C-alpha cells in the first residue's frame, strides 16, 4: 500500500509519497511532459517501470515528490515556480534534509537546469534519463515534421503563455536554459542509444561536452538495444547513496 499526501497548488495536483521508514532525504521527480498527478493517484503509479522506481525509492526510505507541472510544461517558468512552492511546502511539512535529490526524465531536465541555476545549494545530486537539455535543438528537429511541429508550437504557446507570432528561433534560444551556476551538483546522465525524441547526439552529448569545456566532468551512460526505462533508472540508488555521506 502506498502512503501518499495530495496537495493542490495553482490548480495543479502534487503528491508526497511517504516511506514507512524515512531516511531523511527527499527525491523530486521532474517528469517528462504529460506525466500527470491527479487528486488521488499519478502516472508514476500506473506505469509499471516507473512504479517500480517509485516503490524502490520508498523501500529505501526516500520521501518522493511529484507534480503535474501544468502537464506539457516544456520547462516553463510557471512550472519552475510551482516546484519552488512545492519545495518550501514539503520542507515545512516533513522532517527532511534541505538538500534534495532530483530525478529528471525528458523535458524534466529543463526544470532541473533552472533549479540548478537558482538553487544549486539545495541540490544534493541530479540523475537524468533520456533528457531534453535544449528546446532549441528539438525545435529545429521537429520542423521537419509538420503535424508534430504544429502541436509542439501549440504546447509552447500554452506553457509559456505566448502568442503564435511571438514564437521564433530567437525566442526559442532565449528560453533554453543554459547552466550558469558555478556550483554544479553531482550529475549522472543515462540515455538510450535508440532514443529518437531527444537523441543522444543532439541533447546529452553536446550538454556533456559544454560542461567538459568548462572543466566539469559528467558521467554519461549510454544504454544499447534495451529501451527499458527501469534499466536506465536503476543506477540511481547507488548514485544517490554516494552523495548522502555529507549532510
Same domain, 47 and 146: no
The whole-angstrom distance between residue 78's C-alpha and the CA centroid of its chain comes to 15
Residue 104 domain flag: yes
Give the pLDDT confidence of 74-101 residue by residue, as tens digits: 999 999 999 999 999 999 999 999 999 9
Residue where a domain terminates, one of 175, 207, 234:
175
Q: What are phi and psi of 217, to 5 degrees?
A: -100, 125
Same domain, 59 and 163: no
C-alpha cell belonging to residue 35:
506525466
Same domain, 205 and 168: no
Q: How many Å is the Cα radius of gyration of the chain? A: 17
Residue 247 domain flag: no
Give the pLDDT confidence of 203-222 residue by residue, as tens digits: 999 999 999 998 888 999 99
Instruction: Give 227 or 55, the one with higher predicted confidence.
Output: 55
Instruction: Give the total number of structural domains in the chain.
Output: 2
Cα–Cα–Cα angle for 104, 72, 121, rounded to 5 degrees: 35
Same domain, 127 and 31: yes
Residue where a domain terminates, one of 148, 175, 202:
175
Give the pLDDT confidence of 120-159 residue by residue, as tens digits: 999 999 999 999 999 999 999 999 888 889 999 999 999 9
**CATH code, domain with 98:** 3.40.50.1820
> 68 near 143, Cβ under 8 Å?
no
Same domain, 18 and 128: yes
Same domain, 198 and 150: no
Tell me the whole-structure pTM to 2 decimals: 0.96
Q: What are phi and psi of 104, to 5 degrees?
A: -120, 125
Q: How many angstroms separate the Cα of 81 from the Cα of each of 9, 96, 97, 121?
A: 11, 21, 21, 17
Q: Is the dihedral of CA 200, 201, 207, 213 positive or negative?
A: positive
Same domain, 58 and 11: yes
Please, which residues bridge with residue 234 across strands? none
Structural domain span for residue 160: 135-175
Strand (E) or helix (H) holding 16: strand 12-18
Torsion of CA 37, 222, 173, 12, to 10 degrees: 10
Same domain, 101 and 146: no
> 203 near 133, Cβ under 8 Å?
yes
Residue where a domain terminates, one of 119, 145, 175:
175
Q: Is the dihedral of CA 207, 208, 210, 215 positive or negative?
A: positive
Give the pLDDT confidence of 3-62 residue by residue, as tens digits: 999 999 989 999 999 999 999 999 999 999 989 999 999 999 999 999 999 999 999 999
Same domain, 47 and 106: yes
Residue 107 domain flag: yes
Mean pLDDT over 191-200 rounds to 93
Which residue has cell 533554453? 176
Same domain, 155 and 104: no
Cα–Cα–Cα angle for 16, 195, 206, rounded to 5 degrees: 90
Same domain, 152 and 213: no
Residue 67 domain flag: yes
Same domain, 80 and 170: no
Amino acid at each position: 500500500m502506498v502512503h501518499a499526501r495530495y496537495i493542490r497548488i495553482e490548480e495543479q495536483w502534487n503528491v508526497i509519497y511517504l516511506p514507512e521508514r524515512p531516511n531523511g532525504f527527499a527525491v523530486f521527480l521532474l517528469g517528462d511532459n504529460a506525466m500527470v498527478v491527479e487528486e488521488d493517484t499519478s502516472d508514476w503509479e500506473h506505469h509499471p517501470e516507473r512504479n517500480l522506481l517509485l516503490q524502490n525509492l520508498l523501500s529505501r526510505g526516500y520521501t518522493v515528490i511529484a507534480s503535474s507541472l501544468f502537464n506539457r510544461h516544456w520547462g516553463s517558468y510557471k512550472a519552475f515556480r510551482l516546484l519552488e512552492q512545492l519545495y518550501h511546502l514539503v520542507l515545512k511539512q516533513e522532517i527532511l534534509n534541505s538538500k534534495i535529490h532530483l530525478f529528471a526524465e525528458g523535458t524534466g531536465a529543463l526544470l532541473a537546469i533552472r533549479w540548478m541555476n537558482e538553487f544549486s545549494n539545495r541540490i544534493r545530486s541530479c540523475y537524468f534519463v533520456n533528457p531534453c537539455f535544449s528546446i532549441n535543438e528539438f525545435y529545429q528537429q521537429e520542423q521537419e515534421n509538420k503535424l508534430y511541429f504544429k502541436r509542439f508550437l501549440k504546447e509552447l504557446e500554452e506553457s509559456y503563455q505566448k502568442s503564435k507570432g511571438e514564437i521564433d528561433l530567437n525566442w526559442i534560444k532565449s528560453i533554453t536554459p543554459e547552466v550558469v551556476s558555478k556550483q554544479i551538483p553531482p550529475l549522472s546522465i543515462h540515455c538510450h542509444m535508440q532514443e529518437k525524441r531527444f537523441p543522444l547526439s543532439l541533447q546529452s552529448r553536446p550538454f556533456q561536452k559544454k560542461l567538459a569545456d568548462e572543466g566539469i566532468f559528467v558521467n554519461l551512460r549510454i544504454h544499447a538495444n534495451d529501451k527499458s526505462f527501469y534499466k536506465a533508472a536503476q543506477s540511481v540508488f547507488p548514485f544517490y547513496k554516494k552523495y548522502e555521506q555529507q549532510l
